Structure 1
């Protein structure tokens, strides 16, 4: 899954607000804010919904070796 830092970085790269991510993922803005501040750990389903929304917008999460984010070729 993704972590709070990846979520914040992906939003920044996309130029999305927490509200934008909320609309794209159907996850509440409050849950996103709490997650990004590392005040809570969302349920797996919530993390999946956040990850899917970000990936649908063109971000690829790198989970092997160095953990990070990147844009898929041909995006943005």
Structure 2
């Protein structure tokens, strides 16, 4: 995940920087640094990525065609059936 993907995912979910920071247990400055394109420690980036993946975001790897995200539709729970 790169900084642009982070911001895309955050906005797609309707989350602010504070929401993501709280969910990933990192500081708001860490999220801002990532979105500016600064490098983070692998463990920090993994924690942020995992939060997004649990929320339904899939990251499309950087390739010659570009990069992006996929937002999965929410899965119905037993209570919804």
Report the 3-state secondary structure (helix = DSSP H, G, I; strand = E; otherwise coil) of the residue aligned with 1:75. Answer: coil
| Structure (1/2) with the larger strand percentage | 2
Map of 2:48 onto structure 1: 50
Map of 1:37 onto structure 2: 36
Structure 2 counterparts to residues 16-35 of structure 1, below 5 A? 16-35=15-34
Long gaps (5+) in structure 2: 76-81
Instruction: Name the TM-score, length of structure 2 as normaliser.
Output: 0.80
Between the two proteins, the alignment pairs up a number of residues equal to: 73
Long gaps (5+) in structure 1: none
Computing the radius of gyration from Cα coordinates, the structure with the larger value is 2
Map of 1:67 onto structure 2: 67
Instruction: Name the TM-score, length of structure 1 as normaliser.
Output: 0.85
